[in-house]
């Protein structure tokens, strides 16, 4: 698991060799915000922008550290501690 600017982090599944890039959400109204997967698109010369719901590869840097993470599979909860923030996520029911 690695972190990036703009509240994204990257999680790898070593068994199937795939990754997912969810976006964290800090909403005070929700005690356990849900992860929001985002589609990342490659930028090409001459193309100015991707669709609004997509994010370009150029603005992501996964060199930031996630200091601590914990996963509670029975409760379907993921906790992540980054530089200045702590995140608590749960699976939608």
57: helix, strand or coil: helix
The predicted-structure confidence for 11-50, as pLDDT tens digits, reads as follows 777 787 777 776 665 554 455 445 555 555 555 555 555 4
CA distance 1 to 62: 9
**Helix and strand numbers, DSSP H then E, in the chain:** 0, 10
- Proportion of the chain above pLDDT 90, given as a percent: 0
Nearest to 19, CA basis, from 2, 35, 34, 32: 2
Match 């509240």 to its residue by tokens: 7
Q: Are 78 and 69 in contact (CB under 8 A)?
A: yes
Position 28 scores a pLDDT of 47
pTM of the model: 0.34
């Amino acid at each position: 698991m690695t972190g990036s600017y703009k509240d994204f982090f990257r999680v790898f599944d070593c068994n199937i060799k795939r990754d997912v890039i969810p976006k964290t959400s800090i909403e005070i109204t929700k005690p356990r915000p849900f992860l929001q997967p985002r589609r990342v698109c490659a930028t090409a010369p001459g193309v100015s922008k991707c669709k609004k719901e997509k994010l370009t590869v150029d603005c992501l840097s996964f060199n930031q550290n996630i200091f601590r993470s914990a996963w509670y599979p029975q409760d379907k909860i993921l906790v992540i501690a980054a530089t200045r923030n702590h995140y608590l996520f749960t699976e939608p029911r």
